[in-house]
Amino acid sequence: MKKPATWLAFSLFIITGLLLFYRIFNLGYPLLPAAPGQTWAISIDLYLETGKEGARVALGLPVEQSGRMVVEEKISAGAQNIDIHRDGPNRIGIWGIPGTQGESLVNFKTTVHVSPGRVDKNERPSPRSEPPPGGREEQDLAEQLVGGWKNLPVPLRIKAIAATTAGKWVDPPPGNPEIQAWAAIRERLGPDLALMLLFHAAGISSRSVSGLLLVNSVVRTPLRWIEVWDGQRWERIRPDSGEFWDPKFNLLPLIYGNRQAIRVVGGELHEVRYVITREPISDWRLYFEQSRRSDRFLDRWSLFRLPEDFQATFRILLLVPIGALMISALRNLIGFPTFGIFMPVLMALSFRNTGLEYGLGIFFGVLFLGYAVRRALDKLRLLLVPRMSVLLTLVISCFTILALVGSKIGLREFMAVGLLPFVILTMVIERFFVLVEEAGAVAGIRTALGSALVSVITYFIINWEPLQLTFFLYPELMVAVTALQILVGQYSGYRLMELFRFRKLVGS
């Protein structure tokens, strides 16, 4: 291989690798594009009675965080006034319902995608959580109860405090009078506020959360749990039992703090229904939403920012270089005979509309019919341009007849023949005739079959959706494809089929 070409290919590989490294390790892109995790559709129905003066409904809504993305939201509330705003870590939807003196329905639908993600800096707590409700006496008793555990590591301190919910006090345990006094405080404050008071006394950040367990279900009341920061992540604890939620369970927070997930002013809430269902989501939709929400440079110039009708075209175009690379390898390394270089790629693109079976049938039918007409034209001794014009007219006439037949029998694949590359087919007919006349029918048929086989291979490559998504998300991979094309173009050794063809000479 020539050194300039080798160094150029190596440089292109380096450029591709650097861009991929930056996307994956700095921007958090996946190594292999997919939609990891789960997608859940959540419908919230509120039935309430309003009076003459109307009512206002405040509803806690899902908030986007690392590992959790709100894909879509729909609000069905008739002519009601709607306002969504942020209140600290919470996202609140407020509906203003006019006075109707009857039952009103507020419906909110959202689609949430949950996947494992890194903890964002904005999710880290302050060094010390705000003190929960309680007087000085309660706080002093809480500090006395946890005083013996101050030197324990944070994870062990959390487990020791959580165990107090079940009446278990680790060494050194407090005295019975203190335990009895704490039981009275727990009865008065409730299990969640009592636990948070202990965590605050132990210097551990905690927060109360209302939300949903993401499983296929219909529930009427959100769950309550406590999140505790262990220095690395938020641990989730059941306030009624002190048990830890297993990380494999997906909990969706709706409201943080000692607040209700649903509040109604000026009306009476009759019924609440949370309908949770799992649903699939397209990989394309997921990355489109991620790119649309991002203000990073590479995301702002992402192909996902194109209008959706143009995106469909570029999904295929980005894989055409892969098809060209495949053709180069099959021709130069293996020795597949084909009619030209780009004909198999164009045929593969047209097969996406006609279907593979119908496309191949039409290709061979038009090829052999065109050969018969070309053989008849040879007796007229026409010049090249008029002869090619006659063949072009024949190809278009065949396409027109097939389209009419497809319209009569309701076969869309026949009506899509207009997308076949008729100019390329016209030239293939001419080359097929010349090849048969000069090298024989076997050589002509072998080349036609080789072209068809390469077209089929290219067809499967450009229609492989994971590969489409990979190149659409990482268009810099075309630079690596160019490097491979350069390396293949530098090969000047024996082709695989030539080794097989001349195997007797090699052995002699």
* Residues pairing with 42 in the sheet: 110, 276
Q: Tell me the per-residue pLDDT of 455-480, one tens digit each, with 9 for 90 and over.
A: 898 888 888 878 888 888 888 889 99
| Strand ranges of the sheet holding 251-256, from the earlier edge strand across to the other edge | 234-237, 223-229, 206-213, 251-256
pLDDT grade for 501, boundaries at 50, 70 and 90:
low
Q: Tell me the per-residue pLDDT of 141-189, one tens digit each, with 9 for 90 and over.
A: 888 888 888 888 888 888 888 888 888 887 777 778 888 888 888 888 8
* Residues pairing with 207 in the sheet: 227
Q: What pLDDT score does 502 carry?
A: 63
Q: For 331-476, where are the alpha helices, taking DSSP H only?
A: 343-354, 356-378, 384-409, 412-415, 422-439, 441-462, 465-473
**73: exposed, middle or buried (Cβ count in 10 Å: 0-12, 13-18, 19+):** middle
Residue 136: name the closest of 76, 173, 185, 72 by CA.
Answer: 185
SS3 readout for 300-334:
HCCHHHCCHHHHHHHHHHCCHHHHHHHHHHHHHHH
73 near 110, Cβ under 8 Å? Answer: yes
Q: Tell me the per-residue pLDDT of 7-20, one tens digit each, with 9 for 90 and over.
A: 888 898 999 899 88
Rounded to an integer, what distance in angstroms lies between the CA atom of residue 346 and that of residue 351? 9
Beta-strand relationship, 55-61 and 262-265: antiparallel
Q: What pLDDT score does 121 carry?
A: 42
> Which single residue is written with the structure tokens 């780009």?
342
Structure tokens, 469: 């998504």
SS3 readout for 61-95:
ECCCECCEEEEEEEEECCCCEEEEEEECCEEEEEE
Number of H helices, E strands in the chain: 19, 13
Q: What pLDDT score does 225 carry?
A: 92
pLDDT of 507 strictly over 70: no
Q: Tell me the per-residue pLDDT of 185-221, one tens digit each, with 9 for 90 and over.
A: 888 888 888 888 888 888 888 888 999 998 888 888 8
Rounded to an integer, what distance in angstroms lies between the CA atom of residue 479 and that of residue 349? 22
Rounded to an integer, what distance in angstroms lies between the CA atom of residue 323 and that of residue 207? 55
User: What's the mean pLDDT when you consider all of the chain?
Assistant: 80
* Ranges for all domains in the chain classified under CATH 2.60.40: 38-118+278-283
pLDDT of 35 strictly over 60: no
CA distances from 380 to 118, 374, 384, 387, 398 (A): 75, 10, 12, 9, 22
| Strand ranges of the sheet holding 55-61, from the earlier edge strand across to the other edge | 81-87, 90-97, 55-61, 262-265
**46: exposed, middle or buried (Cβ count in 10 Å: 0-12, 13-18, 19+):** buried
With pLDDT > 70 as the criterion, what percentage of the chain qualifies? 86
Domain at 38-118+278-283, CATH class: mainly beta
The number of C-alpha atoms within 13 Å of 53 and in the hemisphere containing its C-beta is 5
Q: Tell me the per-residue pLDDT of 37-94, one tens digit each, with 9 for 90 and over.
A: 678 888 888 887 777 777 788 888 888 776 677 777 777 655 466 788 888 888 888 8
pLDDT of 285 strictly over 80: no
Residue 471: name the closest of 345, 358, 318, 324 by CA.
Answer: 318
Q: Specify the higher pLDDT residue, 103 or 507.
A: 103
Torsion-angle region of residue 28: left (phi > 0), alpha (psi -120 to 50) or beta?
Answer: left
Q: What pLDDT score does 498 carry?
A: 66
Rounded to an integer, what distance in angstroms lies between the CA atom of residue 169 and that of residue 160? 7
Q: What pLDDT score does 241 carry?
A: 86
Q: What is the mean pLDDT of residues 425-437?
A: 87
